[in-house]
Each structure stands twice: as C-alpha cells, then as structure tokens.
C-alpha cells in the first residue's frame, strides 16, 4: 500500500470524529468538528484523485462548501 492509498484511513477516522463533534451542544466543539470535516474533505479528495474517483472529488467539494457554511452559521 502506497502513501496515497493509505490516505483513506486517516480520512475515515477524522470523518467519524468530526461527525461526533458536530452533534455536540458545545459551540466550540461543533466548530472544531466542521474544521475536522474540512480536513477530511481534503484527504478524501486527494485519495479520490489518485484513484480516479472524480465523483468522490466533486462530492468532497460540495461537502466542503457545506462545512464552510456550518463554520459560519455556528459563529452566529
């Protein structure tokens, strides 16, 4: 397994942690969760690029947009 293929594992872990964090009642934890989701979006897109999974890359782009929106809305 090369380093690009191994990107899926930290992406998975960060995604699960982010999902747990954004469900929190604590505002700071939710914001951290959205930032974690953004990191996972980058990792998933990098993994998708090396695998030729262009639909996954597009999905990550739209999810990243949604996560930026979450960061902004969480600050209100």
CB burial readout 18-49, b (16+ within 10 A) else e: beebbeeeeeeebbbbbbbbbbbbebbbbbbe
Task: Decide: pTM greater than 0.75.
Answer: yes
Q: Residue 58 has what pLDDT?
A: 98
* pLDDT tens-place values along the chain, 76 residues long: 687 778 899 999 999 999 999 999 999 999 999 999 999 999 999 999 988 999 999 999 999 999 999 999 998 7
Q: Residue 75 has what pLDDT?
A: 87
Residue 24: left if φ>0, alpha if ψ -120 to 50, beta else—which one?
beta
| Tokens linked to 26 | 């604590």
- Sketch the domain layout of the chain as residue ranges: 5-74
């Amino acid at each position: 397994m090369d380093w690009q293929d191994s990107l899926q594992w930290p992406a998975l872990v960060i995604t699960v942690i982010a999902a747990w964090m954004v469900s929190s009642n604590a505002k700071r934890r939710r914001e951290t969760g959205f930032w974690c989701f953004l990191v996972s979006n980058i990792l998933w897109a990098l993994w998708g690029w090396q695998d030729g999974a262009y639909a996954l890359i597009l999905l990550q782009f739209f999810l990243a947009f949604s996560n930026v929106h979450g960061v902004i809305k969480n600050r209100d």
